[in-house]
A and B are shown apart, each in its own frame.
Chain A
């Protein structure tokens, strides 16, 4: 048995992905509905960036009992304080919601010290590692801008892929990207972790990763349509199989580097790393099982004519190194 070249998957896979395309799409639709339901029902544990209010990270000398800290705060009138362990065992995150439409955070200077004193357990004093206070108006605008950013990215994808490939590819690629983001968002909702700015950034960069996978497959499809005489289903199958090893290896390596982030990056980057890990898995699966199958149904059905080299493509290809 030869060890080298080392391969994760057989060198010439010939899996008939297209045979299960109906099932794959049904599963995909169910996942999408499930994700939307999860997001709607479960919601998010929104961080301060979105809700406004005050968050204080305390560090204790010895590992602190979260329950005790919570009860101490409740006794002093902060019943709504959320207390959770953060990163290492000695760190605790205390969150206080903003009072109604609180715009200014002038009043919070004293609050931070008060919470520190209240939360200090006898024999185990706390120091303030960091504190944040945000007015509610700032946070409302943030959510708007996040949606704007996502729309901007999707429209950009549609235009670019429509220009480089063909509009059907553009629609499918953008749709699978949106699917990936929604599934990852639902997954994140299930973890119950804090949804903060870095998680938002993570979701937006999942878009980048997931489209990347899909485009590599489509690129092969385009190439094969132009060089191979076969029916579309055969071409799709061949394209997926040819790019399979690359798709999986890239995902594995990407997953590894994000795992490093999750393991060593500390508490505030865990959420971001989680979205990326989920994104690597979902993005890979969707580019294998969903992207090509969608190109065989209804108005999205791709034929050889769709991809005959156009004059502008030829010129563009000739110009490129």
Chain B
């Protein structure tokens, strides 16, 4: 008859409580703020607070609150509105100089007890908070051609070094490398030598020609490396710009999406992103680097660098052994003892220099220097002054423990260190060129408007529905409305927990999911009415109505979910937000319609002995 197990009540109460808790952070507004981070070697302390206050006082901006976090080495200046945020960030950028990175930020005002429960608000998409969205296309063809050129050049070097005369070694249009030898007799020997040096390539020999092909797996690796390299470079660049929560994602095989919330000046952002990094191998000079740092006197032919990892000084020879442009690949790998290592391949010319250097310097240290050229624009007397800031840091120092040439390994690293070093080496070697293929700028005021519009639309969708139901189904309409409200809360909670990004189409998805979640409830209520008309007693009508409606609800909703999944799979960005809200909305509505409303109805009617009519 009309029964409802106790454990389901407990489940409902639990779900509603947890959902409410995790949906809660979304109602706390975010403060526009400016975050100040120290670059290496500078501290953020209370003294900085004084400087910041005086800079802000000069431009007449009132900070709502200044929080200093000495642990994390950053400082948060909360402001009243977006306009104050813009003015404060400009003032601080010029006022604090280069020792600090100043970033725009939307600071959370969620109370600590919620944060401790890991409850956090949904991320706002760019269309809701303003900012820049770029899509960049990586020129995979160029990356590929560079690698093929390197292979061809290596092949020539091998033939030359072994005194095998050849007419030509050329790249063909189809991606193969063809070596034409002077005499057929040499073919077999050449083939063996090439095979030893370039084991990855597939070779075929026919009458004095050796055709070398790069296998498919290797081609894919080259493409994957090229894009990953670019993403690393971009990340370093964007850290320099100072954006609080940038999104840098790979999209498909050859695109990178970059989203910079709060940034409005695309020209500046593009310049920063277009900056380049290079690297170089140098010999470490013996001598007391600390002494040199203290006195400023360096041994002749050397320069003083800072080690990125230790912050200490290092003396290096001025003569370059190999540069990033000459590097063919750098991979995180494992050495023969199974320890993490980075294996590096240079081109033939650099390999030759490396061989000469290592032959003479076994047991001595060699260092890698990472050079970043960061474009800068400073305002001096109202004039824009453009310049480059070049930062050079030692990223690795290792002892040469044997003679090697083109290929070598850097060992003695932790796994994480090896990964980082490989990534840095790659981003310092010439990455594949990138083109901007899409650019969107959303003004901050528009973002604010979009949030208001979205919330208003969802609220009205909810109210219209509520009004209709109360009128049409009376008591059961009330039950349905409660279910709808739960539904909305559950969707918000799920999206917050999974850290989904809310976009304007996401709001549309919410409004639609309210419209769709009605469906299950209508099916149930209409079924109950039908049973009542057929003369079934009220309690039985409720039970039968629920049971019979559940099949239809299930089938109808699975297809809806299918459509949502397709949208997600084929869509990008904002469309995905729309798809996620739809699917989560449908799932939540199945739960609320079949379980929550039934629980409430049972609570209301099950104990009534003489139930004659239902208000439905």
B94 within 8 A of A: no
A4 within 8 A of B: yes
Q: List residues of chain B with CB within 8 A of the CB of A207.
A: 563
B570 within 8 A of A: yes
Structural contact, B508 and A250, CB atoms closer than 8 A: no
- Interface bits B390-418 vs A (CB < 8 Å: 1, else 0): 00000000000000000000000000000
Report A307-321 residues with CB < 8 Å from chain B CB.
317, 320-321
Distance (whole angstroms) from the CB of A12 to the closest CB of chain B:
7
A194 within 8 A of B: no
Structural contact, A265 and B508, CB atoms closer than 8 A: yes
Chain A interface helix/strand/loop/mixed: helix
Structural contact, B267 and A265, CB atoms closer than 8 A: no
Structural contact, A135 and B438, CB atoms closer than 8 A: yes
Distance (whole angstroms) from the CB of B280 to the closest CB of chain A:
29
Structural contact, B508 and A198, CB atoms closer than 8 A: yes
Knowing A134-B437, A212-B560, A253-B468 are in contact, say whether A261-B457 is a contact too (CB < 8 A): yes
A256 within 8 A of B: yes
A264 within 8 A of B: yes
Q: List residues of chain B with CB within 8 A of the CB of A112.
A: 441
Q: List residues of chain B with CB within 8 A of the CB of A156.
A: 559, 562, 566
Structural contact, B441 and A131, CB atoms closer than 8 A: yes
Structural contact, B505 and A198, CB atoms closer than 8 A: yes
- Interface bits A123-148 vs B (CB < 8 Å: 1, else 0): 00001111111110110000001101
Structural contact, A250 and B533, CB atoms closer than 8 A: no
Contact of A256 among B456, B465, B570, B579 (CB under 8 A): B465
B141 within 8 A of A: no
Q: List residues of chain A with CB within 8 A of the CB of B548.
A: 223
B13 within 8 A of A: no
A103 within 8 A of B: yes
Structural contact, A253 and B465, CB atoms closer than 8 A: yes
A246 within 8 A of B: yes
Structural contact, A260 and B464, CB atoms closer than 8 A: yes
Q: List residues of chain B with CB within 8 A of the CB of A105.
A: 436-439
- Interface bits B150-187 vs A (CB < 8 Å: 1, else 0): 00000000000000000000000000000000000000
- Interface bits A230-267 vs B (CB < 8 Å: 1, else 0): 00000000000011011001101111111111011110
Knowing A320-B550, A321-B550 are in contact, say whether A260-B570 is a contact too (CB < 8 A): no
Name the residue on A nearest B130 (C-beta): A130
CA A211 to CA B441, docked complex, whole Å: 37
Report B563-581 residues with CB < 8 Å from chain A CB.
563-564, 566-567, 569-571, 574-575, 578-579
Structural contact, A258 and B515, CB atoms closer than 8 A: yes
Name the residue on A nearest B453 (C-beta): A266
A225 within 8 A of B: no
A301 within 8 A of B: no
Structural contact, B137 and A160, CB atoms closer than 8 A: no
A303 within 8 A of B: no
CA A192 to CA B589, docked complex, whole Å: 35
Structural contact, A259 and B464, CB atoms closer than 8 A: yes
Structural contact, A130 and B575, CB atoms closer than 8 A: no
A276 within 8 A of B: yes
Interface residues in B, total, Cβ within 8 A: 79
Q: List residues of chain B with CB within 8 A of the CB of A11.
A: 529, 533
CA A320 to CA B558, docked complex, whole Å: 14
Q: List residues of chain A with CB within 8 A of the CB of B461.
A: 256-258, 260-261
Structural contact, A261 and B518, CB atoms closer than 8 A: no
Q: List residues of chain B with CB within 8 A of the CB of A200.
A: 575
Contact of A276 among B473, B512, B569, B574 (CB under 8 A): B512
Name the residue on B nearest A212 (C-beta): B556
CA A212 to CA B553, docked complex, whole Å: 9
B582 within 8 A of A: yes
Distance (whole angstroms) from the CB of A157 to the closest CB of chain B:
6
Contact of B578 among A201, A209, A245 (CB under 8 A): A201
Distance (whole angstroms) from the CB of B593 to the closest CB of chain A:
12
Name the residue on B nearest A276 (C-beta): B512
Structural contact, A198 and B443, CB atoms closer than 8 A: no
CA A252 to CA B469, docked complex, whole Å: 11
A278 within 8 A of B: no
B248 within 8 A of A: no
Report A198-221 residues with CB < 8 Å from chain B CB.
198, 200-201, 204-205, 207-209, 211-212, 215-216, 219-220
Knowing A198-B508, A242-B530 are in contact, say whether A103-B518 is a contact too (CB < 8 A): no
A285 within 8 A of B: no
A82 within 8 A of B: no
Structural contact, A254 and B472, CB atoms closer than 8 A: no
Name the residue on A nearest B471 (C-beta): A6
A197 within 8 A of B: yes
Structural contact, A249 and B516, CB atoms closer than 8 A: no
CA A204 to CA B526, docked complex, whole Å: 28
A104 within 8 A of B: yes
Structural contact, A149 and B569, CB atoms closer than 8 A: yes
Knowing A5-B529, A208-B564 are in contact, say whether A254-B436 is a contact too (CB < 8 A): no
Q: List residues of chain A with CB within 8 A of the CB of B378.
A: none
Structural contact, B453 and A264, CB atoms closer than 8 A: yes
Contact of A197 among B446, B512, B530, B574 (CB under 8 A): B574
B221 within 8 A of A: no
CA A249 to CA B471, docked complex, whole Å: 12
Structural contact, A201 and B575, CB atoms closer than 8 A: yes
Structural contact, A208 and B563, CB atoms closer than 8 A: yes
Contact of A109 among B267, B440, B514, B523 (CB under 8 A): B267
Report B116-163 residues with CB < 8 Å from chain A CB.
135, 137
Extra inter-chain contacts (7) besides given A138-B437, A257-B465, CB under 8 Å: A5-B529, A133-B439, A134-B439, A204-B566, A207-B563, A215-B556, A257-B461
Instruction: Write the residues of chain B forming the contact surface with A, with a CB cutoff of 8 angstroms.
Output: 135, 137, 266-267, 270, 435-443, 445-446, 449-450, 453-454, 456-458, 460-465, 468-469, 471-474, 504-505, 507-508, 511-512, 514-516, 518-519, 522-523, 526, 529-530, 533, 548, 550-552, 554-560, 562-564, 566-567, 569-571, 574-575, 578-579, 582, 594, 615-616
Can you offer 13 A-B residue contacts whose CB atoms are under 8 A?
A104-B437, A106-B435, A130-B446, A133-B439, A149-B570, A152-B570, A211-B559, A242-B530, A256-B464, A260-B460, A264-B456, A272-B508, A276-B515
The 4 residue pairs across chains A and B that have the minimum distance between CB atoms: A208-B563, A149-B570, A257-B461, A260-B460
